[in-house]
Structure 1
Amino acid sequence: MNARSAIGWNLRKFRVARGLSQERLALEAGIDRAYLGRIERGSENVTVSTLELVAKALEIPVGTLFEEPEPGSTRPGPLRSGRKARRDRAQ
């Protein structure tokens, strides 16, 4: 796996684990959502400065984005579609 693919794989893994949409993460990192999508697909040659913004928004060390996935790992799945349930509603 090349570096761009590993970065995209890890980015999606951490984004989905935090329950963030691409749009929400892009907003928090201050980058374009379409650009974030291209990073996740491994088709963008992203700068370290941009990776620092994304890592900060995900609250992870930037180095974790460079780690190779375990051999045989399945690609991280998408978030569930639809709106999240509101937790602050009075019952």
Structure 2
Amino acid sequence: MLAAYQELQRLGENLLVSPIYECEPIGFSSKNFYNFVVAMRTELSLEELSHQLREIECKWGREENAQKYQDRALDRDIVLFVERVSK
């Protein structure tokens, strides 16, 4: 978890991190998952952020064409991305 957090620090600033929580897998049998949520500011576009996160997943062993329901060392989801332009 610390390694994932350190990877995210490269992509943005003002990181806010939830407590780590444990949840059971849904749809397949496996060990429980450990999750956390991060909010941050970034200068990256949604496409750039998604690409950078995918590279981090691959670095940690995620296969390019991995099945949907399987164990993985690291998985990320972008839940909300807000672009704000001020004048």
- Normalised to the residue count of structure 1, the TM-score between the two structures is 0.27
Q: Higher relative CO (CA 8 A, sep ≥ 6), structure 1 or 2?
A: 1
- Normalised to the residue count of structure 2, the TM-score between the two structures is 0.28
Q: Which has the larger strand fraction?
A: 2
